[in-house]
Amino acid sequence: MMFSADELSAVLRRVVAKDPEAFEALYRATSAKLYGIIVRIVVNRSVADDILQEVYVKVWQHVGDFDAAKASPITWLATIARNRAIDEVRRRKPDVAQEEIETIDVAGNDSHPLDALDRSQDLQALMGCLKTLDQEKRDIILLAYCRGLSREELARRYVRPVPTIKTWIHRGLAQLKACLSS
């Protein structure tokens, strides 16, 4: 079921009024997107199931915080889902993270994020700017955002000290901001 941003905003307003049917419609329209985001970061499906439940419980309880002037509904929802998933992987013991990282293959098996170039104007602008970065900085940003990799995990992957990775991240993000605002 596809909703436009405006339709989804209307659904969210009904959820603010504690309309259970609207909540169900919201779940049907957005859960696959959020589950995709969460699974990419936490990998383990049963952990992802749990997080998705927590996310929608939080949405039902805090839907009044949604501000249409600040973000689109899907951005608001995706931010909640991503934050919760990142919290989860940062809380894990390092050895667990290490074990799972080996099974993650960035942009390898499935379509590279850059393939999605024409999805939206915002995405086009962002991807255009990401392309101006060195490949390593670009991939680090994508790995961190889409897969939830920590500085330590990135340091292992790129065989560089953690402070170097941190510098790359900061430079990459600064370059990205400059490009997006130009």
Partner 1 sequence: MIGFSDDEALAAEYVLGTLDQAERAAAETRRRTDQAFDDLVQQWELRLAPLADTTPDLAPPSDLFASILTRLNDGQATVAGDNVIVLRRQIRVWRTVAAIASALAAVLAVWVVGREAFPSSSTNQTYVAVLQQGQGAPTFVVSLDLAHRRLAVMPLGTDAPQNKSYELWMIGADHAAPRSVGVIDSKATILPALPDVDRGTISGATYAVTLEPHGGSPNGKPSGAPLFVGKLMNTSL
- Per rule CB under 8 A, is residue 9 in the interface with partner 1? no
Q: DSSP letter string over the chain?
A: ----HHHHHHHHHHHHTT-HHHHHHHHHHHHHHHHHHHHHHH--HHHHHHHHHHHHHHHHHHGGG--TTTS-HHHHHHHHHHHHHHHHHHHS-HHHHHHHHTT--TTSSS--GGGGTTS-HHHHHHHHHHHTS-HHHHHHHHHHHHH---HHHHHHHHT--HHHHHHHHHHHHHHHHHHHH-
Interface residue with partner 1 among 32, 128, 163, 164 (CB under 8 A) is 32
- Per rule CB under 8 A, is residue 154 in the interface with partner 1? yes
Interface residue with partner 1 among 11, 66, 101, 113 (CB under 8 A) is 113
- Per rule CB under 8 A, is residue 35 in the interface with partner 1? yes
- Per rule CB under 8 A, is residue 174 in the interface with partner 1? yes
Smallest gap from Cβ 91 to partner 1, in A, equals 6
Q: Which amino acid is at 151?
A: R
- Per rule CB under 8 A, is residue 116 in the interface with partner 1? yes
Q: Are 155 and 164 in contact (CB under 8 A)?
A: yes
- Per rule CB under 8 A, is residue 141 in the interface with partner 1? yes
- Per rule CB under 8 A, is residue 93 in the interface with partner 1? no
> Footprint of partner 1 on this chain (CB under 8 A)?
18, 20, 24, 27, 31-33, 35-37, 39-41, 48-49, 52-53, 56-57, 60-61, 70-71, 74-75, 78-79, 82, 86-87, 90-91, 103, 110-111, 113, 116, 119-120, 122-123, 125-127, 141-142, 144-146, 148-151, 154, 166, 169-171, 173-174, 176-178, 180
